Amino acid sequence: MGSELTPLVITLWVLNVMVDCGGQLAFKAAAMDPRAGDGLERWKFMARRPWMWVGIACYLVEFLLWLAFLSLVPLSDGVLLGSINIVAVMLAGRVLFAERLSPMRVTGILLVSIGVAIAGFKA
């Protein structure tokens, strides 16, 4: 990695993953409410749900964390490390929403995790 993984970089990275995951989960919670209806009514219903606004707030915070993180690491390294967000969201979706993890998705999780580990901890 072009820059060292300092405690600040690691903290920003972990916070970014957590906030991104929280935002995705909040949007999922807002979108899956069975009372939402269809079409424009669905969007109006979701706009009144607290989960929608939690998701938007998470994305705003994530934007700031991501900018801070990228100011400290090269873009190529930052994007590679940021891909762990996919793994976090998939695992959280499994735990909180009982979403299915097929063998191919588990393989994908493992490959992404290995790639992030290589990118984050190379000499």
Q: 39-56: b or e for each residue (b if 16 or more CB lie within 10 Å)?
A: eeeeeebbeebebbebbe
Q: Where are the alpha helices (DSSP H) in 1-123?
A: 7-31, 39-47, 50-70, 75-82, 84-97, 103-121
pLDDT score at 5:
81
Look at residues 113, 77, 91, 108 and name the one whose alpha carbon lies nearest to residue 24.
Answer: 91
pLDDT score at 123:
41
pTM: 0.84
- For range 29-53, the mean pLDDT: 87
> Token pair for residue 86?
């996919």
Domain ranges of the chain: 7-121
pLDDT score at 122:
61
Banded model confidence at residue 43, pLDDT cuts 50, 70, 90: confident
Angle between helices 84-97 and 75-82 (to 10 degrees): 20
The predicted-structure confidence for 49-72, as pLDDT tens digits, reads as follows 999 999 999 999 999 999 999 999
- For range 30-48, the mean pLDDT: 85
Average pLDDT over the chain, rounded to an integer: 89
Side-chain half-sphere CA neighbours of 21 within 13 A: 21
